[in-house]
Amino acid sequence: MKNVVVVGSQWGDEGKGKIVDWLSEQADVVIRFQGGHNAGHTLVIEGVTYKLRLLPSGIVRKDKISIIGNGVVIDPWSLLEEIEEIKKKKIEVDTNNFMISESANLILPFHKEMDEIREDAAGKGKIGTTRRGIGPAYEDKVGRRSIRVMDLRSESNLDHRLENVLLHHNAIRKGLGKTIYKKEHLKKELLKIAPKILKFSQPVWLKIDEFKKQKKKILFEGAQGVLLDVDHGTYPFVTSSNTVASSAATGTGCGPDSINYVLGITKAYTTRVGEGPFPTELKDDVGELLGSRGKEFGTVTSRKRRCGWFDAVLVRQTIKISGINGIALTKLDVLDELDEIKMCVEYELDGKKIKYLPAAVEDQLKIKPIYKTFPGWKQSTSGSKNIEALPENAKKYIYAVEDFIGAKISSISTSPERDDTILLEDPFND
């Protein structure tokens, strides 16, 4: 019996929602440990589609405990809206099955506005954020001026904390010629929703310790992907949190010994949303085909995703950085119509061959992919539930991916439906 961390091994959007939902059937507890409502998971269960932003994927299943950890930044109004949305689909969300870390930091309206102001002013240098205030909220957390869930308990404490954070933000807003924020109005709005948020507030680190003693299976759910990690991703075109598996410990309040297996979700090709380097990007008919067959639009923003060939160099790198034990390969069926399929196995930089993604963005933008070409299978793999049922060329491609990246492929997803999964290794009971 193991505790499992799920992370994206590329730039996010790898299909974590389906895999996490599939795993949550075995788990007792599902915990989000970083990110905010910029990350979206789409689940399809018995014909019903659930689009989650902050709520852990376990929320849609009965008898599961869902937790938002201290590493997550929470827009309280967005969270309450999401809870109401999912309740309309007959999903219960109450204090028995949902809790929020009292130490989680809040995203406030001025964080979102600052995100928008910066992106609009950046011109060609824009990052491509979701404009939801994630980055500015994490900045306030590190700057020790953030409002946390626990601050909503006391009006006097909230007043003091707001005065501190607005001193910083209003100085910047004034310098940019923007209207300053009124503390009293914001305090009034926060106090209005405080009871609705505080009823879920818990010392999550303590609850996790109890769950471990009770031998409960815990699923730690990450957002985005390792290549968007603020330390290890394609900086500065990254998110503002650590998306690697080790942040499951710091983002929830448990030791690294709580993590027994790391599952990396990996598309059979590569996609990216927003700006930044993308060595294998395809701006041709094949790229368009991948995007249309894969329905590559963001769950949260509906932005069109950039598409390209599978970059095995990058995935091998994220496997090492995040300590990934097994790979869940998703969207294999999207490749079914292609005559040939390419996999990046090396880069060329300034005339020299290299075997990893360099850290400098200037180099990342210059590198050229070196491909290995595989024949397509020109047959449908959609809905396959057994690896032996796959076309021979599909199996050759899968085994080549596994061999190059140096990690076992533990499952293969062949459609958005949760049951259309080929299980090769169970992360909870391998």
pLDDT tens digits for range 370-385: 999 999 999 999 989 8
Tell whether the model's pLDDT for residue 170 goes beyond 70. yes
Across the range 6-14, mean pLDDT stands at 94
Catalytic residues: 13, 41
25 close to 63: Cβ distance less than 8 angstroms: no
* Average pLDDT of the chain to the nearest whole number: 93
Tell whether the model's pLDDT for residue 124 goes beyond 90. no
Which of 32-36, 114-118, 264-268 shows the lowest per-residue confidence on average (mean pLDDT)? 114-118
107 close to 53: Cβ distance less than 8 angstroms: no
Give bridge partners of residue 262 from the DSSP assignment: 5
Q: What gap in Å lies between CA 109 and CA 132, rounded to an integer?
A: 9
Q: What gap in Å lies between CA 241 and CA 263, rounded to an integer?
A: 19
pLDDT of residue 424: 92
How is residue 231 written in tokens? 């330390």
181-208 pLDDT tens trace: 999 999 999 999 999 999 999 999 999 9
pLDDT band for position 144 (cuts 50, 70, 90):
very high
Tell me how crowded residue 353 is: count the other CB atoms within 10 A of its CB. 10
Length of the chain (residues): 430
Three-state SS sequence of 30-87? EEECCECCCCCEEEEECCEEEEECCCCHHHHCCCCEEEECCCEEECHHHHHHHHHHHH
Across the range 293-297, mean pLDDT stands at 88
pLDDT of residue 371: 98
42-90 pLDDT tens trace: 777 777 888 889 999 889 988 999 999 999 999 999 999 999 999 999 9
pLDDT of residue 279: 97
Q: What is the dihedral of CA 46, 47, 53, 56, to 10 degrees?
A: 0
pLDDT band for position 262 (cuts 50, 70, 90):
very high
108 close to 133: Cβ distance less than 8 angstroms: yes
pLDDT band for position 337 (cuts 50, 70, 90):
very high
Q: What gap in Å lies between CA 137 and CA 158, rounded to an integer?
A: 16
